[in-house]
Amino acid sequence: MLVPAFIPYFALPVYEIPVPGLGVLPIDPWATLVMIGFVVGLEIGRARAIRLGLDVRDYVDGAVFTVATGFLVAHLYTVVFYFPERLETDGVWALLRVWQGFSSTGGLIGAVIGANVFYKWIRPGKMFDYLETMTFGFPFAWFFGRLGCASVHDHIGRKTDFFLAMQFPPEHIASGIRHELGLYEALYMIPVCVAFALLSRKERPPGFYIAAFVLMYMPIRILLDFLRNDDLVQRDARYWGFHKVATGEFGLTPAQVGMAGILVGALGWLWWRSRQSGVPVGPADPSTASPP
């Protein structure tokens, strides 16, 4: 028998603020929390860039470009792997409506692409150093981003009696006690952020935070996706091999496939980097850093 959920259901509405001469300005809870996360992550990374003697302008410009590319690829990934039927009904417009749906897995892939493009061609620099710095601030940004997902219940899971599950009301499309996966990820980011903050008290070898985030997040995300619902109309697509599973009764979500690929690729890249001649992320003694 299901027990009462520990987390009560809540729903944050879109607030409409009157703007003279312009009508109303909608304040969406998801977008607001995502933007807060972007600023927090950017500032934490910027502080670390200063500490490491990196060019702050290159870091900030590169971070903005990386995030923008991440959102673009996040949308493309959503359409291609989650809702490929949109390509049949809307054609190329499904890809061009970049505001309609974002996949976090696609966002991470897009971020890697964006960092490579910016630091290799737009403003050539030490891409590894800047990507490492962005990664350090990423868990802090992800915490707010996943709170945004939880605020609008983007990732409703299976029915359960887990004490951190959410009690959805009877009139809700997902009535009953269910996993709230956006909230789970936000809660998980708290110890990750604490770990990053404590680990930053000492100098770490190049690639340390990239490896730490990959190992701390990717496997957990793959496991959490097994808790996704498979009984609602709004369920994630499932794939087995290269074939889409329409029933949703088995198979892997696009996020699991993507995260597994990122995990293998990131570990392979870090192994390759470890075999190269030393490329420091920053000076061991900040006092010896060259000015930005």
pLDDT for the residue numbered 248: 67
- Would the pLDDT of 281 be above 70? no
Least confident of 56-65, 220-229, 233-242: 233-242
Helical spans, DSSP H, in the chain: 29-52, 56-77, 85-90, 93-96, 104-117, 127-152, 181-199, 208-224, 254-274
pLDDT digit string, tens, across residues 169-180: 999 999 999 999
> Lowest mean pLDDT: which of 72-81, 152-161, 271-280?
271-280
Angle at 287 between CA 284 and CA 290, to 5 degrees: 90
Residue 103 has pLDDT above 50, yes or no: yes
The mean pLDDT value of the chain amounts to 90
- Per-residue pLDDT band for 244 (boundaries 50, 70, 90) equals confident
Please state the length of the chain.
Answer: 292
pLDDT of 291 over the 50 cut: no
- The answer to whether residue 254 scores a pLDDT higher than 50 is yes
For the segment 222-227, the average pLDDT, to the nearest whole number, is 96
> Which pLDDT value is given to residue 140?
98
Residue spans per domain, the chain: 25-275
More reliable by pLDDT, 13 or 193: 193
Place of tokens 């309609």: 100
| Residue 40, φ and ψ in degrees, nearest 5 | -60, -50
Instruction: Tell me: pLDDT of 167 over 90.
Output: yes
Helix axes 56-77, 104-117, angle to 10 degrees: 140
- The mean-pLDDT minimum among 47-61, 111-125, 256-270, 272-286 falls in 272-286
Instruction: Please give the C-alpha separations between residue 81 and each of 45, 224, 232, 292, in angstroms, as whole numbers.
Output: 31, 19, 18, 42
What are the two backbone dihedrals, phi and then psi, of residue 240, each rounded to the nearest 5 degrees?
A: -130, 115
pLDDT band at 290, cuts 50/70/90? very low
Strand order in the sheet with 156-159: 7-8, 166-168, 176-180, 156-159
Mean pLDDT of 150-172: 94
- pLDDT, residue 278, reads 53
Which of 134, 130, 119 lies closest to 45 in space, CA to CA? 134
The proportion of the chain whose per-residue pLDDT surpasses 70, expressed as a percent, equals: 92
Say if residue 77 is exposed, middle or buried (CB neighbours under 10 Å; 0-12, 13-18, 19+).
buried
The answer to whether residue 51 scores a pLDDT higher than 90 is yes
Average pLDDT over residues 21-37: 92
139-146: average pLDDT = 98
pLDDT reported for residue 22: 82
pLDDT the model gives residue 35: 96
What is the b/e burial string over 246-255, where b = at least 16 CB atoms within 10 angstroms of the residue's CB?
eebeebbbbb
Which carries the bigger pLDDT value, residue 287 or residue 81?
A: 81
CB 113 within 8 Å of CB 129: no
Q: Enumerate residues 6+ apart whose C-beta is below 8 A from 164.
A: 6, 7, 180, 183, 184, 187
Q: What is the pLDDT of residue 292?
A: 39
